[in-house]
Amino acid sequence: MPKFDAILRNERRLRAFTGLSRAIFTGFLPHFASAMEHYLDHSTLDGYIREGDRAVTYTNSPLPTPGDRLLFILTYLKQNAIQEVHGQLFGMSQSNVSKWVRLLLDILDDALAAQRLLPARTAAELAEQLRAELVELDPEAPLFSAMMAQNDR
């Protein structure tokens, strides 16, 4: 069963599993862990509203660390394996894979959104992203001024 530390030590294997370099993976990991922590502060792993104590990670959890969870979901997305195969790779049942995928996709989405790394889904979203990036670069740039003038028409 692959574990985060063993795969992280091997740059080639990490890239094969996730498509990411070690630097990018470890750079994004704190953001993913923060999104996971925020989720678990308010919800259970099954998606119910948390009404009691904070979540505890059990020692026999198939994905005990945020690194294991990020590796799991990025591998799932890159490899596009059926859940039964992914379960074999990570030592869990297909139904357990389904539960973790559903949970971790939402958390990954939140972590990417917090870093403004989600792709635009519509032309309007793309225009807004480009406008925001141009303003950050140089709000007086001619291209930005032309875009704003065209948008006002």
| Segments forming the whole domain that contains residue 49 | 4-114
- Residue 30, classed as helix, strand or coil, is helix
Number of domains in the chain: 2
Same domain, 62 and 87: yes
Q: Does 39 score more than 70 pLDDT?
A: yes
Which of 61, 64, 66, 74 has its CA nearest to residue 29? 66
pLDDT at 1 over 90: no
Do both 16 and 81 map to the same domain? yes
Could you give the angle at which helices 66-79 and 22-42 cross, rounded to 10 degrees?
A: 110
pLDDT of residue 144: 55
- At 61 the pLDDT is 82
Q: What is the mean pLDDT of residues 103-123?
A: 91
Percent of the chain with pLDDT over 90: 48
Interval 66-87: pLDDT, tens: 999 999 999 999 999 999 999 9
Q: Within this chain, do residues 62 and 129 fall inside the same structural domain, yes or no?
A: no
Same domain, 127 and 105: no
Considering the domain architecture, whether residues 79 and 132 belong to the same structural domain is answered as no
CA 21 to chain centre: 15
